[in-house]
Amino acid sequence: MTEIDLSEYNYDLPVERIAQHPVKERDNSRLLIYDTLTIADDTFKNIGDYLPDGSLLVFNNTRVVQARLLFRKESGAAIEILCLEPLLPSGYDQSFSSYGTVEWKCMVGNLKKWKKEILSLSVGSGRHRFLLMAEKVCAEGDAFRIRFRWQDENISFSEVLEAAGHVPLPPYINRKDSEDDRLRYQTVYSAINGSVAAPTAGLHFTRQLLDRLLNNGIMSASITLHVGAGTFRPVKSRNIEGHKMHCEHYFITPETIEILLEQRERLIAVGTTTVRTLESLYWTGVKLLDRSIPDEGALHLDQWEAYDLNQDISVKDALEAVLDKLLENNQYVLAASTSMIIIPGYRFRMISGMITNFHQPGSTLLLLVSAWTGISWKKIYKYALDNNFRFLSYGDSSLLLSETMLKKQKKIQRNL
């Protein structure tokens, strides 16, 4: 599996097919439906027609923060800092609620122009104006530790980012962020600050659509995975074995795990981030049962770890092991992290389907889709290209089911 040739997962994506703006109404985007035998084409607002009865939609309720900070040196050189994850204090909640100073792991644009000087940015926030300063402390893995300080002790770091930051649009959207992006590059159900990229599969849902699905018996649950910039990291090695997967932090309440246990035969993940979280949750339970996590050890899943663990433990046993661990430690939430990579050959444990946008050629996200659909990903993407679907973050969507489960037979536009 680790010797997968990435050239087999490339396709020609014309630049004009990459959506630069969202459609006017969220749920008026297009929807491709695939159920292993057929492919259909509809509008996203009609997704309820294709979800199996009793489905449980699992959403990622992370909220995108205005994580791009644009500084300018006295020389005129522009320095862009993208906040990735908190280091001091290390918790997201603690960092966002901090006053005066924080330290974050950051990516730095135009790094060669930034030597040792402290950068400063004058920021206006309502009736307040303050000076935000950035100091490069040291290298931090493939990024940098940046210390931020600001002069107004009445403003939290969350408010600093809201006032000074820009929407962290992905690099293939070739324009400056706008005020509209603050609303549209955010799901309507976002709740927990922490992401530097949107879980874009959820951008198509409106409040009205969610209410309609609930009234039709479609249930929902939420997890939180803070999406990092690594989701856009290109695979530069010829074989997937040479690619280092990024780490992301996720959080799940015991109540949600209990819902997942009850509905484990009908889970539809909204987005690849939710897929990755749910599968990582299962393997965390496996590790607990196999006693491969030290008593005080961090709950982390390495890139290839799942492929070497016990493959025969049931979903029920794995999730109950996580619940027992939380109960034993009097924890109200599971806080864990994952570097897991999902590639063709992986056997999914948790989901019966996924909702996802169309991904970049040769990306780890496309590999995840291929792991779910098999070689049919090529026919799915060809259909999308031939029928003028819009691609990537602001593009159209797909519903990929594991078997023939269309609730209402509509005209099938093309057989696979």
- DSSP states of 358-399: ---TT-HHHHHHHHHHGGGHHHHHHHHHHTT--BSTTS-EEE
Task: Kindly report which listed range (195-204, 377-386, 407-416) carries the lowest average pLDDT score.
Answer: 407-416
Alpha carbon distance 158, 102 (integer Å): 11
The DSSP letter of residue 5 is B
pLDDT in tens, 290-324: 987 765 567 999 999 999 999 999 999 999 999 99
Q: Give the pLDDT of residue 1.
A: 65
Angle ∠(10,233,367) on CA atoms, nearest 5: 40
The answer to whether 387 and 39 are in contact (CB under 8 A) is no
The answer to whether 209 and 188 are in contact (CB under 8 A) is no
Q: Give the pLDDT of residue 413.
A: 40
The residue assigned the tokens 């990516």 is 107
Domain boundaries, the chain: 6-63+185-407, 67-166
Residue 158: exposure state from Cβ atoms within 10 A (0-12, 13-18, ≥19): middle
Chain mean position to CA 60: 8
pLDDT in tens, 24-82: 999 999 999 999 888 999 999 999 999 999 999 999 999 999 999 999 998 889 999 99
Other Cβ atoms within 10 Å of 66 Cβ, number = 21
CATH 3.40.1780.10 fits 6-63+185-407, yes or no: yes
The answer to whether 64 and 186 are in contact (CB under 8 A) is yes
Q: Give the pLDDT of residue 126.
A: 61
Question: How big is the chain, counted in residues?
Answer: 416
Mean pLDDT, the chain, whole residue set: 91
Q: How does residue 188 score in pLDDT terms, banded at 50, 70 and 90?
A: very high
Q: Give the pLDDT of residue 404.
A: 42
Q: Give the pLDDT of residue 409.
A: 35
If you average pLDDT over residues 262-289, what whole number do you get? 96
107 contact partners, CB below 8 Å, separation of at least 6: 81, 82, 84, 143, 144, 229
Q: Give the pLDDT of residue 174.
A: 94
Strand partners, 42: 31
**Model pTM?**
0.92
Phi/psi at 39 (5° precision): -135, 135
Euclidean distance between the first and final Cα of the chain, in Å? 26
Alpha carbon distance 214, 230 (integer Å): 34
- Which alpha helices (H) appear in 145-271, and where do they start and end? 157-164, 179-184, 207-215, 254-262
Other Cβ atoms within 10 Å of 290 Cβ, number = 12
Chain mean position to CA 307: 22
User: If we measure between CA atoms, which residue out of 353, 339, 229 comes closest to residue 284?
Assistant: 339
Q: Give the pLDDT of residue 403.
A: 66
pLDDT in tens, 336-395: 999 999 999 999 999 999 999 999 999 999 999 999 999 999 999 999 999 999 999 999
Task: Kindly report which listed range (161-165, 397-401, 407-411) carries the lowest average pLDDT score.
Answer: 407-411
